[in-house]
Chains A and B, each alone.
Chain A
Amino acid sequence: MIKSTRTAVMTVLMLLLFLLPVTSIYADGNLLQNPGFEEGGEDAPSNWTKDMWISGDNAGILSIQSDEVHSGSKAAVIENIEPNHLKWVQTIKATPDSYYKISGWIKVVSTAGEGMGANILAVGVGGGYPSVTDTAGEWQYLEYMGQTGPKQKEFGIGASLGGYSSLIQGKAYFDDLSVEKLDAAPEGANVISLDSAAVSQDAGDKKADTPHKVSPTKMLLISALFSVFFAVLYTKAFRSEKLMKQPENVYSKWLSIAIGIAFILRVWIGLTAQGYQNDMNTFIAWGQRMVDLGPGKFYEEGYFADYPPGYLYILYMLSLIRGVFGFAHGSGGENLLFKLPAIISDLVLGYFIYQMSRKKLGSGIAFGLTLLFLFNPAVLVNSAAWGQADSFFLIFLLLSIHGAANKKFVQSAILFALATLIKPQALIFTPVLLFAFYHHRAWKQLGFGALYGLGIFGLLAAPFFWNNGGLVGLINLYKSTLSSYPYSSVNAFNLYALTDPMWSSLDLTWLGITYRVWGFIFILVAVAVAAFYSFKRDRLDLSKSYFIGMALIVVVFVLGTKMHERYMFPAVILCMFTYIASRDRRFLSLFLGFSLTQYINVAYTLTHLNAGINPGADGIVLVTSIANLSLLLYMLYIGYDVYVRGGVKPLPAPPTPEEKFDEDLKIIEQIRPHQKGGRLSDEV
């Protein structure tokens, strides 16, 4: 009896299974009917209606076909022959104030024009849902969340090519659309309103999820503040007898106070500002790995470590210190600790500026310049906010170029080797040293320098590669670092932020040439520019070295590919030293320019990254990119004027008593009452 009952039940069940259609019209939870376009004919799929912005067969075609399908035997196809907005639409009954997940599969054949691409339309809603103009020939899944309005009982969904007043040409396939009701609000997702009637006028009724709008207000205020500070120093302080002619010990006292305040400021920012957690965590992890595995096993196939060994020693020490103090993981103390090398490097660089400019410019101006560096937002955002180590690297790079400028070639080479050991970007500055050696025929020093430099390099790198890949491993590390992030721009607000969106593929072409090739071209251009300034006029004048270094990094950053937002950081201090070496005041203005663009580039990117997105092509990015291009041209022009034509424009000296008297007299003449009978020019 049991056997036959079981058989009977099984048979019935199997029969029932056969009765179910292969692709069900009503998917579990899917509120759409005929979501895969399986039912109905080629021109009239069940439950879907056509909607064409521009109608007519030569404007576009909505149809069903069987050649390209995602599942089942049919899929929808939309072809916009003219720029158009065509959609297959279905209206669904809904409950008010509920959440729905809307999704589907799209395969784009091609699109042309600037309009919204292929998307799963929320009828009546202008935007906010994802769209795609290129799916690389594959079926791509799109989804988004929507919320119905407080009185909304239905909404429309469409397979759509183009958007409201956002027309596009092209062709795309759509299949397996789905609308599912969610029980609760989805976590963290961007929810758009499906209520097409309530686009503008609901004041405070619905709690609309504001999309990630990163506000530039604080960043612009700080930029304005720094500009005012600069203007005051430039126009007033540097021309003030009182401030410029103090005795030496007063300036030393002021310097100590300034460094102290700069340190406290950085500590405060380091603790309160949200750094780039990704980088911070990476540093902390590497430090821990150094402690756990030691240098010999640090680099490993598959483990992400794109830094050369130099800074890893520092991270190792920081990790040990962290252990000694017992900072908890993720604590503010740990964050601050790992920002400390950069913070201290900032102060060291400030001190360098003072010491190296005192003799030439006078302690007064030297102190002012130090302030301009210590309280520079571009410097603060890099070390104290973001948590990167560019300042540390910069110490070695700066000392290396300083050595070259002062003909201490061996020293220069050694420091250069150390700089390269810390960050591969140092290699960009190789021409500075090579030209210096060449002009002074310093072959012996080149030899010694190379020897010592490579020696120290090898010595410090050895623990990492001795048993772990050897020389080949070391070279491979540098090669992979230099070729990583193969994109036109990695959040650098440069030329490529203007031509195409940042993060465009290197194989995309601009003016017929791929970005990959443009990158090479502009590296050659950078070297040619450096050579131009080095070989023109006075070849033996090595004080140009700072300018040449700055020119190299600025050309490479503004015109080169694969640049990250922080790569132009060296330009800021190199510009300062170019001013010190040349005494041309235009370099000070350039310093202000680079400080602001670098600050805005880094700060804006940082706020975006912490919100989980990259900066897009908005006004701030575009204006900063244009500014960078203008500063590049201005820099080349000043360099030409100073180093090729020999025309220097120094800061005006403090005015003499006679000059002051004359100026005062001129001011007072303005308010002298007019002669009798004359008319005041501003009376009606």
Chain B
Amino acid sequence: MKFKRIDWICILAITAVYAAIALYNLGSTKSPETLWEPAASGESFYVDLGQSKQLERVNIFGGVGTGKFKLEFSGTPDVWSNPLDVNEDVGNVFIWKSQPLNVAARYVKFTVTSPGFTLNEMAFYEQGGERVALPIAGVTPDANAVAKRGEPANLFDEQSLIPEYSNFMNSTYFDEIYHARTAYEYTHGIVPYENTHPPLGKLLIAVGMELFGVNPFGWRIIGTLFGIAMLPLIYVMALRLFKKSKYAALAAGLFALDFMHFTQTRISTIDVYGVFFIMLMFYFMQRYYTMNFFKQPLRKTLIPLFWSGLFFGIGVASKWIVLYGGAGLAIMLAISLFERYREYQASGRLLAEGKIKDKELLGTCREAVNSFWKNTIITLATCVGFFVIIPVIIYSLSFVPGLSASAEGFTIKGLIDSQKNMYNYHSQLVATHPFASSWWQWPFMKRPVWFFSGSEGLPQGQVSSIVTMGNPLIWWTGIFAMLATLWITLKRKDKNLYMIWIAFFSQYVPWMLVPRETFIYHYFAMVPFMILGIVYIMKLLDSKYPGARYVSYVYVAVALLLFIAFYPVLSGMQVSGDYVKDMLRWFPSWVF
């Protein structure tokens, strides 16, 4: 398959435009990074505000860990009153939170009640102070205290970085409190809090934080880059399947316009990595599938198998859902080998009948008969290596950072216990989340998941939301396009296109069977293949009806219009609440 100039132009154009949109307002590049992690209960410090102020609230940027502390207030640094208990819980990691106060004080004493938490920054505000932090005259720590990390003065050294209001640009939202936190813990040798998904996705998040700092941009950038990279990838996949640049561009364009692709790659969670590697592994399996070890040297056919297995392993180390796709890979391998078997049988029969005169054909038949079993066995044996041994190694290695932080270090027992814990969690997760939805509700987008709801600092009537859902045009037509693809490719015996529905259903069917609580974003892994199905149907229509190309233009235009219309609630952009209520909430179950 040769890349033509038009291909380069399309890939670059679509990728560049999407990248610009995806990186815009991804997150702040500055967050308070110097921290204080007290070691024991009772440790304390107090701040001097310079003079007595009527305090209205205190803003806190929490770091990794949970615990409790107490604030007390006074005009003099020896007698304290008005204690306020603050609970630094799981939902405070890397988020700006506000505690209301109503006390006049010059000094504020901070005492650790229950250690385990980390704080990065604090600021006090006075009534009528116009949301500007009060300057700190001095910080006096408890002389005997030796903190685990940092010192109390660190809580007041980055006051210029304090945002006026807490929102997604400067804080974590939804499951970022778990994944970004775990990524941080991996790189800082802390025992990870979240242990319900395998580590590789979080390690990739950690790379972003190492390169760009521990700030929202840092913990989201890698996922967003992977999301951008999905576009050239689907372009190449579509080009291989449909052979024409037009359909490749359609596939990449529609994927760029899908809402879930946009939101899932901009939030610091790990779905993006699972889906990216699923796409890669199916791409390489498709490469293998179109090869034939009777026509090409066997070792050449093993190369795409190697890549497929490698990305399968990396994918499983990111999220277990990639295992479902593994079943699809096995089916494709089985079909491919079965085709070779048919060729082998046909060769045998033809040789036995002895009716062929063509020398070349005779040679082909003999070759096939002689080499089938050898080739098949070697293929299967190497697949054990590529799809079992290598993935197990990658998977086990990915646990090294997390397990090393624990007391026992990296042990086989620790590794196996982690798997048991993960399995128990997933098999017992009971449905009580208000935004959960079941597998048959996903194609129709019954219940989008509301990731972020802006509350602070929004003018009257304005809202800021981030919701994850699919592009209605793409998703609602997608499920029907998928069923049509299944039916038509089977009827026409378009064997090279089976991958589209094998990939889709091998991932979808397991969700019908798992008992755990599920959400609409579990459908993300099926979206690229759904889009390939849509493009296939468009290709069929083009070949039957000359006017059909206008349909595809209109289709893309409507998808684009929908993307623009919904962009505010996909990106957290501040927008009129009435606009969201009247124009975007199409169904009562769409709550955002």
Residues of A that sit less than 8 Å from B by CB: 83, 113-115, 125-128, 163-167, 192-193, 197, 199-201, 203-204, 208-211, 213, 215-217, 220, 618-620, 622-623, 660-661, 663-665, 667-668, 670-674, 680, 682, 684
Q: Which chain B residues lie closer than 8 Å to A217 at the CB level? A: 513
Residue of B nearest to A218 (CB): B513
Q: Tell me whether B513 and A163 are in contact (CB under 8 A).
A: no
Q: Tell me whether B291 and A682 are in contact (CB under 8 A).
A: yes
Q: Which chain A residues lie closer than 8 Å to B512 at the CB level? A: 216, 220, 619-620
Pick 6 A–B contacts, CB within 8 A, sort by A. Answer: A211-B430, A216-B513, A664-B347, A667-B346, A671-B294, A673-B295
Q: Tell me whether A201 and B431 are in contact (CB under 8 A).
A: no
Q: Tell me whether A199 and B433 are in contact (CB under 8 A).
A: yes
In angstroms, Cα B421 to Cα A125, docked, is 24
Q: Tell me whether B342 and A200 are in contact (CB under 8 A).
A: no
In angstroms, Cα B447 to Cα A126, docked, is 14
Cβ-closest 6 pairs across A and B? A619-B440, A664-B346, A126-B434, A165-B434, A667-B346, A164-B434
Stretch at the interface among B312-320, B359-367, B395-403, B532-540: B359-367
- How many chain B residues sit at the interface, stated as a range, is 35 or more
Cross-interface CB contact of A672 among B360, B431, B438, B588, cutoff 8 Å: B360
Of listed A199, A211, A623, A667, residue having the most chain B CB within 10 A = A667
Query: Apart from A165-B591, A619-B512, what 16 extra A-B contacts exist at CB < 8 Å?
Result: A83-B588, A115-B588, A128-B432, A164-B434, A166-B434, A204-B421, A211-B431, A619-B440, A619-B441, A668-B347, A668-B350, A671-B368, A680-B295, A680-B296, A682-B287, A682-B291
For residue B429, CB closer than 8 A to chain A, the reply is yes
Least distance between A153 CB and chain B CB atoms (Å) = 13
Residue of A nearest to B296 (CB): A680
Q: Which chain A residues lie closer than 8 Å to B4 at the CB level? A: none
Which residues, 415 to 445 on B, are CB-close (under 8 Å) to A?
421-422, 424-425, 428-435, 438-441
Cross-interface CB contact of A203 among B290, B364, B421, cutoff 8 Å: B421
Residues of B that sit less than 8 Å from A by CB: 1-2, 89-90, 178, 194-196, 287, 290-292, 294-296, 342-343, 346-347, 349-350, 353, 355, 360-361, 364-365, 368, 421-422, 424-425, 428-435, 438-441, 450, 509, 512-513, 515, 588-589, 591
Least distance between B501 CB and chain A CB atoms (Å) = 15
Q: Which chain B residues lie closer than 8 Å to A620 at the CB level? A: 512
In angstroms, Cα B431 to Cα A209, docked, is 11
User: A672-B364, A682-B290 are contacts. A622–B440 as well, Cβ < 8 Å?
Assistant: yes
In angstroms, Cα B421 to Cα A619, docked, is 29
In angstroms, Cα B355 to Cα A668, docked, is 14
Cross-interface CB contact of A201 among B178, B296, B350, B434, cutoff 8 Å: B178
Q: Tell me whether A165 and B295 are in contact (CB under 8 A).
A: no
Q: Which chain B residues lie closer than 8 Å to A199 at the CB level? A: 432-433
Q: Which chain A residues lie closer than 8 Å to B588 at the CB level? A: 83, 113-115, 167
Q: Which chain A residues lie closer than 8 Å to B343 at the CB level? A: 667-668, 670-671
Q: Which chain A residues lie closer than 8 Å to B353 at the CB level? A: 661
Q: Which chain B residues lie closer than 8 Å to A664 at the CB level? A: 346-347, 349-350
Q: Which chain B residues lie closer than 8 Å to A128 at the CB level? A: 430-432
User: A201-B194, A203-B195, A667-B342 are contacts. A210–B428 as well, Cβ < 8 Å?
Assistant: yes
User: A167-B588, A192-B432 are contacts. A215–B361 as well, Cβ < 8 Å?
Assistant: no
User: A203-B421, A215-B513, A668-B361 are contacts. A114–B589 as well, Cβ < 8 Å?
Assistant: yes
In angstroms, Cα B512 to Cα A680, docked, is 41
Q: Tell me whether B430 and A204 are in contact (CB under 8 A).
A: no
Q: Tell me whether A668 and B346 are in contact (CB under 8 A).
A: yes
User: A127-B431, A201-B178, A673-B295 are contacts. A220–B440 as well, Cβ < 8 Å?
Assistant: no
Cross-interface CB contact of B430 among A165, A210, A220, A667, cutoff 8 Å: A210
Q: Tell me whether A126 and B432 are in contact (CB under 8 A).
A: yes
In angstroms, Cα B277 to Cα A666, docked, is 37
Of listed B287, B439, B512, residue having the most chain A CB within 10 A = B512
In angstroms, Cα B422 to Cα A125, docked, is 23
Q: Which chain B residues lie closer than 8 Å to A680 at the CB level? A: 295-296
User: A165-B591, A204-B424, A204-B428 are contacts. A619–B438 as well, Cβ < 8 Å?
Assistant: yes
In angstroms, Cα B515 to Cα A213, docked, is 7
Residue of A nearest to B3 (CB): A684
Residue of A nearest to B363 (CB): A673
Q: Tell me whether A208 and B428 are in contact (CB under 8 A).
A: yes
Least distance between A404 CB and chain B CB atoms (Å) = 37
Residue of B nearest to A681 (CB): B290
Q: Which chain A residues lie closer than 8 Å to B291 at the CB level? A: 682
Q: Tell me whether B428 and A167 are in contact (CB under 8 A).
A: no
In angstroms, Cα B284 to Cα A684, docked, is 13
Q: Tell me whether A203 and B513 are in contact (CB under 8 A).
A: no
Q: Which chain B residues lie closer than 8 Å to A83 at the CB level? A: 588
Residue of B nearest to A165 (CB): B434
Residue of B nearest to A116 (CB): B434
Q: Which chain A residues lie closer than 8 Å to B347 at the CB level? A: 664, 668
Cross-interface CB contact of B425 among A192, A204, A209, cutoff 8 Å: A204
User: A165-B450, A200-B429, A203-B421 are contacts. A671–B364 as well, Cβ < 8 Å?
Assistant: yes
Least distance between B483 CB and chain A CB atoms (Å) = 11
User: A128-B432, A200-B429, A201-B196 are contacts. A665–B350 as well, Cβ < 8 Å?
Assistant: yes
Q: Tell me whether B438 and A618 are in contact (CB under 8 A).
A: yes
Cross-interface CB contact of B90 among A201, A660, A671, A682, cutoff 8 Å: A201
Cross-interface CB contact of B432 among A114, A193, A215, cutoff 8 Å: A193
Q: Which chain B residues lie closer than 8 Å to A667 at the CB level? A: 342-343, 346
